[in-house]
Structure 1
């Protein structure tokens, strides 16, 4: 029997379906043994893929890590693992840019197991209807407690998403410059205004902690941008589309989710391929994955009425957002910039650094993050 080691992230959404699938006795697992480990969300967001690739055969990763991973030849192209025909079919089936986010230099380096993006969430008992625009978010924040996702890399991701809504996304590579200064200043001022009224302690909480806090109490009524977790969706906690700059305009959101990659060290067998194919199959995506706390990547699952009803309307409530979501840069050096930029934006939002001085530092950090390598 072929034996493999895998690494995923430590949350029911990240591990339950994979572990359950590895223990099944169906034809797709009859000759393959999968041992899954899990690391924290923070570790998942920042740990170098090349280090994981030394110890694991299968790696659940986020697309911005591809720059460093490819520069160090840590992964095998999935085209070679499962075949170009399957890649083409799966690309047509995926929701939003969840599949394309793992495509670099004409190759597919991971297949999306899980599709997620920043969405809005509110407590219907405290907020009648979710705001549609950022002006409405700011107005709402003056009457009910509104939180921002500001922990770890999420400060910069919030900044980047609002820039998308304002029509000026962060470029894919520093060689193209940064966000237009007027847009960046307006976004930083907006974040500073909102952050001046956030519930105490929310600035240090990751998306999971924010959603758990909203589930347990009423001191956060609304959050305009937080990564959607179907596990927290209920009639008491509703997920909706993220805000736009103007009614009917583009929704600003940064896609996340996870992709399944195969490390360069892995010896691929037909049995492993069969297992990967089973995970991406429409019936698995609509049935097995959501039934085991997962958040599928298939558009057919996101638009399935039964799947949506079981998730208290999570999928229908956020489908427009994920379809319009923005793909982060994937150049070697981006992950380090994302961490530095989050610290800068957080200091501006919390009133510790002047807006223009913070933007100067952001522009300098983005320019300095460019390393030798291809623009992807």
Structure 2
């Protein structure tokens, strides 16, 4: 009987895994909607599946529930070091916690800039340039639905602070949060409000369909949209900076494959997972089957880039510089609540200092009791 796996319902998350699982006869993959992937309790998923595709902010919750198997119980140290060295940016590190690795970073992504081909030559490298374009040319959309309002705020903050990394449970300082929110609020003032409830896939579908959206400065990159034929192509570029030469502001996304505690991994399963992470598969099978590889060499490979109009090479610098989110048990609920609060704050014009103060209080309340000050 094959192992049971759960991934998310988009070709990028499903096609390659499903095809590989069927060919090997090892894994039967189910899928859940993107919203479930972003917010479903990880313990419930691990109770029902042997393999679970997850995002790194779920780690604290998973460790608190003891529902994932550490990778060092499945792979030898040499293999783990190889996976880490091959992965772009902080992809592998995002799944390390409490001194151990808990998922294989099969898929790499971060918030990047999406734009229509007709404005590819517009000066859009900084937030000031994006704001100026939106003010005079229109066609701006923001990714604010679901958890993405908070993620957009954090990405802007990362462009303002070259050293920002929230993986160990910190939050934005008051001055940094105010400055990031002021940029987000300025952009929101010029954004098309009709797409405020659209998730990243919905936004990219709208851009691809010629709805008038010409630029989304922060949206998680999905390579299939770059592969679509004209006029449905969406181009992707590095996320904006706060200043020329500064950091591309982005929060790491992507997905990893975790092994649940209910699973008893076989040698065949271990070899299959290692095969999925191998350079040849990451530069061949994965992108050929709608996937978005995590292997750094794949992102630089001309043959991988050619069919997708340079999607990987045009955004790799953003991946390399991407910041990690907090990962404590309680963060996912904070991310949801903070995004809802930010949408309301943008709608009502709440002062930036009040926004920063409220977010700091919400974050502090989300921490486990033994970590609250």
Decide: shared fold, TM above 0.5: yes
Displacement of 1:106: 1.5
1:260/1:315 CA distance change after superposition, 3 Å: same
TM-score, with structure 2 as normaliser: 0.94
Q: Distance in 1 between matches of 2:118 and 2:93?
A: 38
Q: Which aligned pairs between 1:44-83 and structure 2 lie closer than 5 A?
A: 44-83=37-76
2:290 maps to 1:297: no
Please name the residue that 1:103 is paired with.
Answer: 96
Q: Distance in 2 between matches of 1:247 and 1:80?
A: 45
| Aligned with residue 106 of structure 2, among 100, 105, 113 | 113
Q: Which aligned pairs between 1:271-282 and structure 2 lie closer than 5 A?
A: 271-282=268-279
2:165 maps to 1:188: no
Q: Matched residue of 1:75: which SS? A: coil
Q: Which aligned pairs between 1:1-376 and structure 2 lie closer than 5 A?
A: 3-24=2-23, 29=24, 32-126=25-119, 128-143=121-136, 144-167=138-161, 169=164, 171-172=166-167, 176=170, 178-234=171-227, 236-351=233-348, 353-372=350-369
Q: Contact between 2:165 and 2:323, CA under 8 Å: does it hold in 1?
A: no
Q: Matched residue of 1:142: which SS? A: helix
Q: Matched residue of 1:125: which SS? A: helix
1:170/1:274 CA distance change after superposition, 3 Å: closer
Q: How many residues were matched structurally?
A: 366
Q: Matched residue of 2:78: which SS? A: helix
Instruction: List structure 1 segments (4+ residues) > 6 angstroms apart after TM superposition.
Output: none
Q: Distance in 1 between matches of 2:199 and 2:248?
A: 22
Q: Distance in 1 between matches of 2:245 and 2:131?
A: 18
1:170/1:363 CA distance change after superposition, 3 Å: farther
CA RMSD of aligned residues (A): 1.7
Give deviations 1:147-179, integer Å, cap 9, x for gaps. 1110000000000010011117374456x5x42
Higher mean alpha-carbon deviation, 258-267 vs 227-236, is at: 227-236
Q: Distance in 1 between matches of 2:48 and 2:353?
A: 44
Q: Contact between 1:150 and 1:203, CA under 8 Å: does it hold in 2?
A: yes
Q: Contact between 2:207 and 2:213, CA under 8 Å: does it hold in 1?
A: yes
Q: Which blocks of at least 5 consecutive residues in structure 2 are unaligned?
A: none
Q: Distance in 2 between matches of 1:297 and 1:170?
A: 20
Q: Distance in 2 between matches of 1:371 and 1:13?
A: 34
Displacement of 1:68: 0.7
